[in-house]
Structure formats: structure tokens, C-alpha cells
Chains A and B, each alone.
Chain A
């Protein structure tokens, strides 16, 4: 009986403190349970890639969108499309060019409430090119933290991810879908 009360008191207190400090509660994505994937299209068939290593610092409060912020760092070397030849090609100079740009970086700028969830305006930096990539997501609070599920769509050629032969979209489509599901733990 005392536990829920204590927890809600703590929650109230932290919410109050957050509001007082003008900051949404901070979370970090649990690397074990979180997923960051992309779906590309090659020769008319979809292929899925996963980034095994990324860090996501999430500050989000449904009631305080103004001070919410996502900051995601993706280790491009950790790409895994279930085929080492394809992974090697993607890491290579013509696509991700991990030798010169080992990480991709996503930062939000603003949030809006949508009919089904939230939308974020933000910018992705990949291969040294920064472009706007909007994301759509759902945010679900839980006793242990929160869950963040969302999607985005980008054009790989906007970032130069496709040089030489890979510039052609005959084989590899320009459009790439991004899916993510983050299990968020409160920042300590």
C-alpha cells in the first residue's frame, strides 16, 4: 500500500521539479530492448537493416512539448542487414562512408500533437550532410519509464548515401523507411 503512494508522491515531486526547472523528464533508451531499423528496397524486394549500437537521450513530456528534445547518436558501423557482403557495401565509401563519418546524429527541433500521437521536426546528419527528417511516434508512459515507437521516411540520396553506381535508383530505391521502438529508462 505504501509503495504506490510513495511512488506517486515521488512521481508528483519529480513532475513538479521538472516543471519548476522547465525541463521534460529525461530518459535513455535501454540498448537491450530498443530497436532502430530501416527498410530499403533493392531490385523490387525489401531488405531490413538494424543498428545494433545507438544512444538515444530522450527528454519528453506530453504536457511540455516545448522543452522536449530527442538526441540520437547512431554507430553506422553497427549496421546489420543479415548479409555481410551487403553490410560491407553499405559501410563503404559510396554509401555510409563510415571511415569518414562513423556516426549519424538526429536532433529534434520541435514537437506537435497529432491525431494519433506526436510528430517531431528534426534534422538528421549523415555523411556530413544535415537534412530535415520528420518523425511520427507514440509515447507511452509506464511505471518503469516509457516506450517510444515511431517511423520516419527519408531519401538516401539527400544525404549522398549512394555514390557512383549506387546513385541510380533502378536497383536501390531512394526512399528508405525508418522504424524504431525504444524502451526508455529514467535518466539517473
Chain B
């Protein structure tokens, strides 16, 4: 598997970042929903501490991923896609990038506003971005939840689209993000 992205598929770094972040985000939803259902207590705080550590990890990986994406153009889209599908795919991916930053940042702001500093796995503490502010906390919590709902909807759309490409269009859109899958076709267009 080449390290660089090739016209046909994503390289090892892009794939590693994609799957690592995807796994972390899936875990984030589980931790968030689990913690939300608990009364305030040691167990809830433990889950939220883990949620924050993972969230800050996502933020750091998002920076890496954005830099990588900007310096390593991804493989092109399959030739058979309509212009509507292309716009939809582009918008979905752009929205993912926005949320990769917006989710951790609103979470970090939320913790700051409630004066619960964010630790990274107990190794070091991130500075509070804003001072204690009850009204800001309420607003940020609502925003964090709404963005979370949007991220969930986007992820469902993303997964359905990948499956549609794989099983319906029978192109390489899914396979080129999988480390071990063989590319069946070379239908992807070459980037200029």
C-alpha cells in the first residue's frame, strides 16, 4: 500500500486518519449518550473525562488530517457520477471537516464555560478557552448537541453512499478507503 495517495486510492496516512477518527467518533457517541443518561456522579464524570480526552484527540488528528488533505489531493470521483452527486459528495465531505473541528471546539468551550478544565488522559490539562459563564454553557451545550445530531445524520448519509457506490454502482469509492480491498476497476478519473 503506497504511502502517497494515488489516482486510484487513498494512501496509508489518509486511510489511517480516516479510520482512526471514525472509530473515535463512534466511541464518542457511545460515551456521550451513556453519560447523558446518568445522574451527576463519579461514573458520569469518568465517562465525560474519557469523552473529553478522545475529543481532544480528534481535534489534534483533525489538524493533521486537514494539513494532509490540503497537501495530498485525494483520488478523483468515479466518471459516472452526475453533477448533483458530485456537489452532494463535495458538500458532505466539507461539512465533515467543519464538524471535525466544531465538535471538539464546542466541547472544549463548554467545559471551559462550566469551569471543568479539560485534561488529556490525565497527562496534561488544556487551558480554559473562556471564563465561567452559565449562559454560554447552556448555549454551547445546545450547539454541541445539535452539531452532534448533524454529524450523526452526515455519517449515516456517508455510510449509505459508500455502500451504494460499492453494491449499486460497483465502483471503487468504498474499496479505495479500505486497506486490504483490491480495486476491481480503474474507472476513477485521473486528476489533471
Residues of B within 8 Å of A170, CB to CB, are 46
Distance A86 CA – B48 CA, assembled complex (angstroms): 14
Question: Which of chain A's residues have a CB closer than 8 A to the CB of B117?
Answer: 45-47
Digit string of B19-44 for contact with A (CB within 8 Å is 1, else 0)?
A: 00000000000000000000011110
Size bracket of the B interface: 20 to 34
Q: Is the CB of A43 within 8 A of B123?
A: no
Within 8 A of B (CB), among A29-86: 42-47, 81-83, 85-86
Task: For residue B91, give the distance in angstroms from its CB to the closest CB of chain A.
Answer: 37
Could you tell me if B121 and A44 are in contact, using CB atoms closer than 8 angstroms?
A: yes
Least Cβ–Cβ distance between B8 and chain A, in angstroms? 44
Interface assignment of B141: CB less than 8 Å from any CB of chain A:
no
Chain A contact residues, majority secondary structure = mixed
Q: Do the beta carbons of A45 and B42 come within 8 Å of each other?
A: no
Least CB distance from B130 to A in Å reads 12
* Set of chain B residues within 8 Å of A47, measured between Cβ atoms: 115-117
* Alpha-carbon distance between A5 and B168 when the two chains are bound, in angstroms: 100
What is the count of residue pairs linking A and B with beta-carbon distances less than 8 angstroms?
54
List the B residue with the shortest CB-CB distance to A48: B115
| A172 at the binding interface (Cβ < 8 Å) | yes
Contact assessment for B116 and A46 in the assembled complex, using a CB-CB cutoff below 8 Å: no
Chain A, residue nearest B119 (CB): A44
Flag if B41 contacts A165 (CB, 8 Å): yes
The interface centre, meaning the residue of A42, A81, A85 with most chain B CB atoms within 10 A of its CB, is A42
Docked-complex contact A81 and B49, CB < 8 angstroms: no
For the complex formed, measure the closest distance between the CB of B114 and the CB atoms of chain A, giving whole angstroms. 5
Q: Which residues of A contact B124 (CB under 8 A)?
A: 44
B122 at the interface (CB under 8 A from A): yes
B127 to nearest A CB, angstroms?
Answer: 11
**Contact present for A44 and B45 (CB under 8 Å):** no
CA distance A124 to B139 in the complex (A): 41
Q: Among A43, A83, A166, which residue has its beta carbon within 8 angstroms of that of B115?
A: A83
- Interface flag for A89 (CB, 8 Å): yes
Give A138 to B123 CA distance when docked, in angstroms.
33
Q: Does B125 sit at the interface, judged by CB under 8 A?
A: yes
> How far, in angstroms, from A160 to B158 measured CA to CA in the complex?
51
In contact, B45 and A171 (Cβ under 8 angstroms): yes
Identify 17 residue pairs between A and B in the complex whose beta-carbon atoms are under 8 Å apart, listed by A's number: A42-B49, A42-B116, A43-B52, A43-B122, A44-B49, A44-B120, A45-B119, A47-B115, A47-B116, A82-B115, A82-B132, A83-B116, A164-B42, A165-B41, A165-B42, A166-B42, A171-B45
Where the two chains meet, the residues of A that have a C-beta atom closer than 8 Å to any C-beta of B are 42-47, 81-83, 85-86, 88-89, 164-166, 168, 170-172
List residues of B whose CB falls within 8 A of some A CB. 40-43, 45-46, 48-49, 52, 114-125, 132
